[in-house]
Amino acid sequence: DGGITQSPKYLFRKEGQNVTLSCEQNLNHDAMYWYRQDPGQGLRLIYYSQIVNDFQKGDIAEGYSVSREKKESFPLTVTSAQKNPTAFYLCASKFLEGVGNQPQHFGDGTRLSIL
């Protein structure tokens, strides 16, 4: 079955440590997105990518980095510069316009906590 796989499901970070969250999709979607979900704030966009080797900052990109070396993969690195990284991170993907405006499909998320 096609879908979006995020790993790990739970992740713990020590102070000063970088961690990388994985997102893989086998839906042949063009665009991929990373959101951060905090209670009462909904989903906030961190980064997105519409094409391989290209990505754009979202609303809260500071302290995060991404790469898009392959169409199916969009890993997110939470760097030590992100002072409040404890959150639920969601990856999403979708087809771009051309075949109608498609909804985003979401992974199951990764919950990141600070030790």
Partner 1 sequence: AQSVSQHNHHVILSEAASLELGCNYSYGGTVNLFWYVQYPGQHLQLLLKYFSGDPLVKGIKGFEAEFIKSKFSFNLRKPSVQWSDTAEYFCAVNAKDNYGQNFVFGPGTRLSVLP
Q: Which is nearer to partner 1, 85 or 94 (CB)?
A: 94
Q: How far is the CB of 89 from partner 1 (least distance, A)?
A: 12
Cβ atoms of 78 and 64 closer than 8 Å:
yes
Q: Which is nearer to partner 1, 16 or 103 (CB)?
A: 103
Q: How far is the CB of 67 from partner 1 (least distance, A)?
A: 19
Q: State the DSSP code for 96.
A: P
What is the chain's percent helix, strand, coil content, to nearest 5? 0, 50, 50
Q: Which is nearer to partner 1, 45 or 80 (CB)?
A: 45
